[in-house]
Structures are given as C-alpha cells and as structure tokens.
Amino acid sequence: MHFRRHLLGWAAALLLVGKAHAQVDPEKRQLVQLGYNQAFQGSAPVAAYAYYYANLPDWPREGQTLRVAVAPVYLDSELAFREALGANTHLAVGVAGGGFADSYSEVRGGKYLKEESFYGNGGELSASVYHLFNPGALIPLNGVVRAAFHYTDYEESNRTSPGFTTPPDTSSLKVRTGLRWGGREPLLTPQAAMELSAWYEGDFTANSGTYGYAGDRLARPQTHLFWSRALLAYTLPESEHYFAVSLTAGTSINSDRLTGYKLGAVLPLGAEFPLSLPGYYFQEIHARQFVLLGGLYTIPLDAAKHWHLSTYAATAGVDYTQGMAQPGDWHSGVGGGIGYTSDNKIWEVNLGYAYGVDAIRSDGRGAHTIGLTMQWDLEARRTHRKSPDPEVSPDNSRGLQRLFRGFFGN
C-alpha cells in the first residue's frame, strides 16, 4: 500500500485521458506520445502523459479493429466489429482502467492544495455504436452512442490532511452521444483537419455524498455535460507553414469539482478534447461552463524544413464550478517554441515556453512554464511516408486538402 501511494509523484499523470472517439479509425497506427509541462512558480500538479497508441485494422480478425493505448499504470482498449449492425454501422466493446486514473488535484486560487488532493483508481467496461451518415461524401459525418460502467476507488495520498475525507467509492453509468463532421487524426501536427462536433455526456453515480472537511463539498448523484468544438488545421503546400485554430464551448448541469470542466496547461494529446491554457497549472481552472479559443502558427526555419518555430495563444471565459471561484472570469495565455521533425515524420519533438497572463500566483498575476512534446510514429518508419496516407485517414484529409486549396487559392 505505501509503495502504491508513493507512485503519485510521477506515475499518476502518465495516463491517456482521452477515450471515446466518433468513428472507427481505418488507418493502421503505432505511435509513442510524450508530453510534459513544468511550472516555474510554486508547487504544481504533475502535468504529463506518456503512452503507446496502436490502431490495428483487420486484427485480430478481418472485419475487426483493435485500438489500444498503454501507459505505465493504465490501459485503454476497444475492439470494433465493423458493420456488425449493418452498412456503415459498427459495434465496439472496450475495457479500460488502472492506477490513479481518477485521481484529483485541488487547485484553488492559484495554489495547489495537496492536503485536499487524493488518489482515485478505476476501471471501466463500455459498449459503443458508431455510424457514418454520409458514405462517399467529401467530409464524413459520424455519430456515436456509448455506454460505460465505471468503478472508482478513492483513497488518501501520503499528503492528504488527516481531517479530510475522500469521496465515497462509487460505481457509475456514463453515457455519451455526439456528432462529428470531419475530424482530426491523433497526431501532433496532422497535415490537414477540419471538425464541427457536438456532444452530450451524462454521469449517473450510485454512491454520491459529501466529502472534504466535515462534508463541506458534494459529489452529485448525476451530472450532464454539453459541449461543442470547431477546429481547422492546414499545412500550406508551398511554404509548409502550418496553422491550427479551435473554438470549444461547454456548459453543464449539476457539475461539481470531480465532474466539471478543467482548463490548464498545454498537453495537446493528453485528452480527446484538450482544454489548453498556456502557462497555467494542469487543470487549474474549474468551470461550470466556458468558451475557449486557441490558435497555433508554425513556420519552418531551414531549407530541409526539419526545424520549425511556433507561436500559440489561448483565451477563455469561464463560469466557475461552485466553490472554485476566483477574481476575474477571463483567462489568457501565450507561448512559443522551437521544434524538430525528422525525415518522413518519424520523430517530432517540440520545446516551448508559455506565459499565463491572468494566472494567480503568490506575487500577483502571471505564470511561467516550459513544455515538451514528442511523437514517434512507428508506421512512418516502416512505410517511409512523409505523412499519414490521406486517402484512408479518418478525417478524409485528401478531400480536406482539396477543399482548403480552394479556400487559399493553391
């Protein structure tokens, strides 16, 4: 037990957070993804991910697709049976779980409160139905309906206050449904991507109740989340300048500290819908509802276009979760960095600096962080392709490239 508790210093954050997808990916993929943020001021929650991701069409049998993500203390897997429910309708079953999957870090008023933070270990069984509504269209419209049984075991960390009570261990039913027009490949810099999507997720908990100091906070019996995202990313053909912009907005009913939206840090592949705020602690801002606008622009620095320079920014307006309010309801961050991409895009590494303009710290407003992201594409090594085959990528990126060239005159 003591060995398990002391793992939190590193392993707790080495998890793949994103799980549900709106389509069965037809592209074979093997990727290693790493991401890390380090704050310069104060004590901060560990902000990192490290995992191996594989998507294997026609494995273990023809007509099936296995998707799996393996982190040091966590596994997320799904086996899809393509067209099991008719043309363009797929059925999938999933298993996920591991240590620290549901751990919680309390960050309030710019301070990481370790005495109010705790571990959560969990597991999940799920079933999903994926449907393509417009086969043969230039941009695909996919839908998903997903139900999952989830169990969480909460326990104190070695720094949780003796007077602080963790939430009750609980089982819950999680339901998600959504529509996604277009999409984005699970890569740091997909060559082209466009998405318009809308989502609902319901969390129905069996063992809700109070926790904290003398029951001063509540784990609600049910929570409803509603959010949408608009995203555009493109690589200009001649100059290979790359840009990405996204707008994400969400609201909720009965959300609390455990189930509401959490914004902060720059971990682009740590979740399916990363709510990034440059310069902030990981999941520093707790929101009942929010709107978040972010953008990235990258230019090559050398003739071979291996080295590149990036600048990025994000800004968000939030309505805080109950008990997590702070002065000001607008948060912004900016950053920049340098990166290297190898031949055939086998390796991509980026090092950056970010400044949280409105983050509260002990010396006032403003926070500084550095970040590192890395991607190793094992399939690029084997096929020696410069980018994933756009003909079969889930966002139909060859069609998107034709569409974008029409916009930009290239």
- pLDDT digits 0-9 by tens, 102-111: 999 999 999 9
The mean pLDDT of 139-144, rounded to a whole number, is 96
pLDDT of 31 > 80? The answer is yes
pLDDT of 11 > 60? The answer is no
pLDDT band at 22 (very low <50, low <70, confident <90, very high): confident
pTM of the model: 0.90
pLDDT of 34 > 80? The answer is yes
List Cβ neighbours of 382 (8 Å cut-off, separation of 6 or more).
none
H/E segment holding residue 397: helix 397-408
Q: Round the CA-based radius of gyration of the chain to a whole number and report it.
A: 21
The mean pLDDT of 141-146, rounded to a whole number, is 97
The mean pLDDT of 68-82, rounded to a whole number, is 96
List Cβ neighbours of 149 (8 Å cut-off, separation of 6 or more).
124, 125, 126, 171, 172, 173, 174
pLDDT of 165 > 70? The answer is yes
- Average pLDDT along the chain: 89
Q: What pLDDT is stored for residue 3 in this prediction?
A: 29
pLDDT band at 405 (very low <50, low <70, confident <90, very high): very low
Domains of the chain: 2-408 (2.40.160.50)
pLDDT of 312 > 90? The answer is yes
Q: What pLDDT is stored for residue 249 in this prediction?
A: 98
Digit-coded pLDDT (tens) for 314-352: 999 999 999 999 999 999 999 999 999 999 899 999 999
pLDDT of 392 > 50? The answer is no
Q: Rounded to an integer, what distance in angstroms lies between the CA atom of residue 116 and that of residue 142?
A: 41
Q: What pLDDT is stored for residue 101 in this prediction?
A: 87
Q: Rounded to an integer, what distance in angstroms lies between the CA atom of residue 33 and that of residue 148?
A: 26
Q: What pLDDT is stored for residue 2 in this prediction?
A: 34
pLDDT of 47 > 90? The answer is yes
Q: What pLDDT is stored for residue 388 in this prediction?
A: 35
Helix (H, G, I), strand (E, B) or coil at 310: strand
Digit-coded pLDDT (tens) for 200-241: 999 999 988 999 999 999 999 999 999 999 999 999 998 999
Angle at 317 (CA atoms; ends 107, 248), nearest 5 degrees: 100
Q: What pLDDT is stored for residue 194 in this prediction?
A: 97
Q: 186: cis peptide before it, omega within 30°?
A: no
pLDDT of 23 > 90? The answer is no
Bigger pLDDT: 380 vs 29: 29
Angle at 310 (CA atoms; ends 348, 247), nearest 5 degrees: 100
Kindly report the backbone phi and psi dihedral angles of residue 49, in degrees, each rounded to the nearest multiple of 5, phi listed first.
-145, 150
Q: What pLDDT is stored for residue 119 in this prediction?
A: 96
Q: What pLDDT is stored for residue 383 in this prediction?
A: 56
pLDDT band at 1 (very low <50, low <70, confident <90, very high): very low
Helix (H, G, I), strand (E, B) or coil at 337: strand
Digit-coded pLDDT (tens) for 277-297: 999 999 999 999 999 999 999
